[in-house]
């Protein structure tokens, strides 16, 4: 059965479809937007465990005080919270970033006066 084997384009080397589409995107071949759909489909988890975990995490993240946030804000906040929870962001890094923004805004206001 043809579905049982790997995809082979040239020679006898099997092709990893996800890597192939990533390579196409890097080289600028979008195929009219098909590359984005292919990457979305091919990068889907094989099980629903990750999705269930994300919904559970989202339920905990979107509290009564956050229920009116825009979807993009929720997505960004959940991403930062996930990376922070899993020690992918160094402790204090976000505080330094936030302080840097405050300092920059103060400098802009000061320069206007």
Q: From CA 78, how far away is CA 66, in angstroms rounded?
A: 12
36 with 56, same domain?
A: no
Q: What is the pLDDT of residues 54-111, one digit of tens each?
A: 777 777 777 777 778 888 888 888 888 888 888 888 888 888 888 988 999 999 999 9
34 with 55, same domain?
A: no
Residue 1 has pLDDT above 70, yes or no: no
Q: Cβ distance 61 to 77 under 8 Å?
A: yes
Rg, the chain, Cα only: 22
96 with 53, same domain?
A: yes
22 with 68, same domain?
A: no
Domain that holds residue 34: 2-42
**In this structure, what are the phi and psi dihedrals at residue 77, rounded to the nearest 5 degrees?**
-65, -40
108 with 54, same domain?
A: yes
């Amino acid at each position: 059965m043809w579905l049982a084997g790997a995809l082979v384009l040239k020679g006898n080397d099997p092709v990893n479809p996800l890597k192939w589409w990533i390579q196409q995107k890097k080289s600028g071949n979008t195929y009219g937007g098909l590359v984005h759909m292919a990457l979305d489909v091919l990068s889907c988890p094989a099980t629903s465990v990750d999705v269930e975990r994300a919904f559970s995490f989202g339920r905990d993240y979107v509290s009564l005080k956050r229920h009116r946030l825009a979807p993009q804000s929720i997505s960004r906040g959940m991403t930062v919270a996930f990376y922070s929870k899993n020690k992918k962001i160094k402790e204090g890094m976000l505080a330094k970033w936030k302080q840097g923004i405050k300092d920059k805004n103060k400098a802009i206001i000061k320069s206007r006066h």
